[in-house]
Structures are given as C-alpha cells and as structure tokens.
Amino acid sequence: MIEIINLLFKSFQYPFIQKAVLAGCFIALSSSILGVFLILKRFALIGDGLAHVSFASIAFALMFSLSPMFISIPFVILASIFMIYLVEKNNIYQDTAIGLLSSTGIACGVIIASISKGFNVDIFSYLFGSILSIENYEVLVSVILSSAVILIIIFLYNPLLSLTFDQDFAKVSKIKAGLINYILIILTSITIVIGIKVVGTMLISSLIIFPAISSLQVSKSFRMTIISAAVLSVVSVLFGIAASIILNFPTGATIVIVNAFFFIIIFIVNKLLKIK
C-alpha cells in the first residue's frame, strides 16, 4: 500500500499527469451536466453519433496535417444542427437521425484513412483516447470551452429544465424551444470534440451517459441530480487516472470502467434498498 501511495504521489508531480487531470476534470464536468438533460430528453445516444462524425473530421484534419480539434468543432456543430433539422423539420425519429450520421461519419473516416497513409498511430489515439499525451493548448482549450459550457448551462438552467420535462409548457411560457435545443446540441458537440482526447471517439459517450444515469438512480431532485452527476464524473476521472497508473492500463478505457463500476454499485445498492 505504501508503495502504491508513493507511486501515485510521484506520478502526480509530473506535468503531463497534472495536465491530464485538469483537462479530464473539466471535460467530465461539462459532459456529465449535459448528460442529465440529454438522457431525460431521450438523446443519450447522440454522443455516439457525433463522436463518429468527429472521427471523419479528425481523419480529414490528419490527412492535411491540420489541428483535429479546431477542424472537428465546426464540422461536428454543423452535423449536429443538420441532425436537429432532420428531427424537427422532416419528422425523422431521433435514433434514426443519429444512426444516419453515425454510420456516415464512420464510413467517411475509414475511406479517408485508407486513402491517406502514415497517420495510423495518430488516428488510433483519437479512437481510444490519449489523455496522458494532451498538449498545453489542448488543456487551455478544454478548460475554456468546458467552463463556457458550464456557465451557459447555468445561465439557461430554467429554460432547459422546462424543455426537459414539459416542452408544451415551455412553448406556452414563450421559451424559444428551438433555439434552446440548438444551443444544447451545440454545447454537446463542443464537449464531445474536446473530450475525444480523453477517452476517444469510441468511448466518449460513456462520459455523458454513465454519471447521469448513476445519479438519476439516487438523487431526489433535479438540481441534486446534476450536482451528483458532476461529482461522480470528476471522481471517476481521478480514480481512472490513478488506477491506470497503478495497473498500467490505458487511461481512457480505465476511466470508462470506473464509471461503469460506480453505476453497477449504485444500481445494486438501490435495488437492495428497495427490496428492504
């Protein structure tokens, strides 16, 4: 035990570990808070859809030696707006629209990767995450964008709350439902793109789904659900990074496993308490 503590103490003194913790915690905060709204609006799988779209934009950026983050953000935002347009204006179901974008994004990414040789290692790191190799500018962008996402959600808390539970009431209350939905989906797009370096395109949706669904099982108010989801998500990132150092596991995947572990524990305890 003492050796493990010493290992963690020494590891967390390295700048690249500190950068991973800082970026990971901020991304965890924004993704978990957004996740509560998305799950209640039955939009939980949007993380997968937009992450697969980002895979195509990342492959395109790497092919031309451009910054994947700055190429992906506008690309994924446009894709998310198009998806909302399909759902609201063309009577296409949400899961169908997500499936269309997801499969198209993966297909385009695979084609671009096959055309362009020489960045297989880079594309692999974006598929499954590489938080320990995060750059200084990526940390700065992650902190700024994640902070902006959190502040906007706080500012729009009441309209988002109304839209989440009663969209008809929100419309009667003269809340601009369409605009708020677009803002929510754009914030989700940004969070997904900046979170890809943490756990990768294949796993980013877990940061949105797990903390939110875990907190929904135990919290008795909407505000407490958001707070507990945020706390649980940050704790999962910290535990995941620590566990990956101790066990020498991939960090992104370990963070996801820790999230899944917390969900299983909360689920079992919740069931046992209901039985009693």
The enclosing domain of 192 has a CATH number of 1.10.3470.10
pLDDT recorded at residue 229: 92
Between CA 171 and CA 151 the distance in angstroms is: 24
pLDDT recorded at residue 260: 92
Between CA 185 and CA 181 the distance in angstroms is: 6
DSSP-based three-state secondary structure for 236: helix
pLDDT recorded at residue 232: 92
Where in the sequence is the domain holding 115, given as residue range(s)?
A: 2-275
Helix axes 136-155, 157-165, angle to 10 degrees: 70
pLDDT by 10s per residue, the chain, length 276: 777 778 777 888 888 888 888 888 988 888 888 888 888 887 777 877 888 888 888 888 888 878 788 888 898 999 888 888 887 777 777 778 888 888 888 888 888 877 776 555 566 677 767 777 777 887 888 888 888 888 888 888 888 888 777 666 666 667 777 788 888 888 888 888 888 877 777 678 888 889 999 998 888 888 889 999 999 999 999 999 899 888 888 888 888 899 999 999 998 888 787 765
- Asked whether the beta carbons of 218 and 270 are under 8 A apart, the reply is yes
Number of structural domains (the chain) is 1
- Asked whether the beta carbons of 36 and 215 are under 8 A apart, the reply is yes
pLDDT recorded at residue 120: 57
